[in-house]
Amino acid sequence: MCKAMSNFPSRLLEGYQTFMSGRYADERDRYRQLAETGQEPHTLVISCCDSRAAPETIFDCGPGELFVVRNVANLVPPYEPDDNLHATSAALEFAVQALKIREILVMGHGRCGGIKAALDPDATPLSPGDFIGNWVKLLKPAAQQIQDSQLMTGGERQIALERISIRNSMANLRTFPCVKILEEQGKLRIHGAWFDISSGELWVMDSKTGDFFRPETAEA
């Protein structure tokens, strides 16, 4: 029998083997149960594609716990019921309407390349399509105000927009009727958080003031 040729990345195959002999072996019953009964994740997380800010890792969650939407700079677009392609809105719709998830977390992070791009709208596009430039235009009004501030350093501007963009996404979440109605009825909660990659610190948003603070249980 001839052996099939594969250029599948060896790092992924090795990781898969470790997963099968470790975590999958430990959680085999849970996977089987999830396959039979379907998923019932407790939280929808909207986070960045950045490889350093994986929600399942940061929150130590197992299979079936988090419904995760990742996009550049963890942005939520406003509610726009048209014929355009709305990947994030589709995931939100499924999470809230089909899975009945009632906790939504928007999680930003430090050193975010998408936020950096929003603060540099004149940068040369990475490709003729300039998909990143167009995507981060969702932050244009906030980015413009921050850019105009002469009081902040580049690093301060970056962190400011990382955090303001979280509030921006939370506000856009509330433009979706299904989210707004459920939240007003007290049946759904929206949270914000910011993860500092360099220190591992998690900062969570005060729902009343919009400020970020370190929760007691998260302090090392």
Whether residue 2 is annotated as binding a ligand: the answer is: no
8 Å CB contact between 103 and 46: no
Q: Which of 44, 45, 46, 48 binds Zn ion (CB under 5 A)?
A: 48
Tell me whether residue 112 is annotated as binding.
Answer: yes
The residue written with tokens 């998260």 in the block is 218
Question: Distance between CA atoms of 68 and 60, rounded to whole angstroms?
Answer: 14
C-beta of 114 vs 192, nearer to Zn ion: 114
Please list, in sequence order, all residues whose beta carbon lies within 8 angstroms of the beta carbon of residue 87, skipping any fewer than 6 positions away. Answer: 71
Ramachandran class of 38: left when φ > 0, alpha when ψ lies in -120 to 50, beta otherwise? left
- Residue 164 is a binding residue for Zn ion (CB under 5 A): no
| 112 near Zn ion, judged by CB under 5 A | yes
Please say which residue, 169 or 188, places its beta carbon nearer to Zn ion: 169
Residues 49-88 that bind Zn ion (CB under 5 A): 50
Task: Work out whether strand 212-213 and strand 201-205 pair parallel, antiparallel, or are unpaired.
Answer: antiparallel
CB 50 → Zn ion: shortest distance, Å? Answer: 4
CA distance 157 to 140: 14
Judged by CB under 5 A, the number of residues near Zn ion is 4
Nearer to Zn ion, 75 or 205 (CB): 75
List of residues contacting Zn ion (CB under 5 A) = 48, 50, 112, 114
- Residues of each annotated binding site for Zn(2+): 48, 50, 109, 112
